[in-house]
Structure 1
């Protein structure tokens, strides 16, 4: 039942739900230690890389089609690159190292800023695209993300 409902969800709702999920993962990571912290980071890594790559493949090309929304793509791509670099830096650290927590805090701050800007972007997108387009993009988003999961999980293991 939940899968059917998710299939009819527009891309903006899916993205907002993923942002909320990552916020919850960060809250859990802040309380975790040792192996549990590594597990939480691994989940954050997978979620963020999947989210960014899927946005880049599905949402950004759609945003480039409209003058009102294409302006947001370059900044978002820069933020994704910044997040990717920090994720790789954290992945190379041990949770007992002070830099691990510093980088996690830096990552969380970048993501909080990204989410704060969300409403402005989403409003612009809703003005340009129909509900039908947003729902179609939502389905494409979910399908694309599902295809990327194994590659992202493999990248984490490296």
Structure 2
């Protein structure tokens, strides 16, 4: 993974989007134990990603009229994703509902990623300079590190 000192927040978020998309694609073809392992990776990656965005990226966007308007919808999409993750967590990979909910999760993530990368990123780039984006990237990485233990605990409860 890229180091916080060299990557701006947009590059970090985009890299994580690709990683999560890859995990979702691999999970589609997986069976039982393998599927469960992919789900655990997806659960952790999405919770760390959404949590760090909410702690670092969205508050920074709140500072600018041009980006503030995107926050409410993005947070609602995060809530939908988190709800699906929690519903999936209590199911077993061979439950009939599991594949349906995984498909719903994939659609929700794809929608969010598309909006974030096509609309939000360009608005952010118009408001923040490279130095600010790099600083936010560092804060984003730090926030993820702080959230890691809580996410690990949530996975087992």
Q: Residue 146 of structure 2 aligns with which residue? A: 147
Aligned to 2:71: 73
Is 1:12 matched up with 2:10? Answer: yes
Report deviation, 1:61.
0.4
Moved over 6 A (4+): none
Cα separation, 2, equivalents of 1:126 and 1:119: 12
Return the TM-score normalized by structure 2. Answer: 0.96
Q: 2 CA distance for matches of 1:150 and 1:157?
A: 11
2:136 and 2:118 map into 1 onto residues whose CA distance is 18
Consecutive unaligned residues of structure 1, counting only runs of 5 or more, are none
Q: Which runs of 5+ in 2 are unaligned?
A: none
Equivalent position SS for 2:70: helix
Determine helix, strand or coil for the equivalent of 1:108: helix
Alignment equivalent of 2:97, drawn from 68, 76, 99: 99
Instruction: Indicate which of 16, 21, 24 corresponds to 2:22.
Output: 24
- Aligned CA-pair RMSD: 1.0
SS state of the match for residue 62, structure 1?
Answer: helix
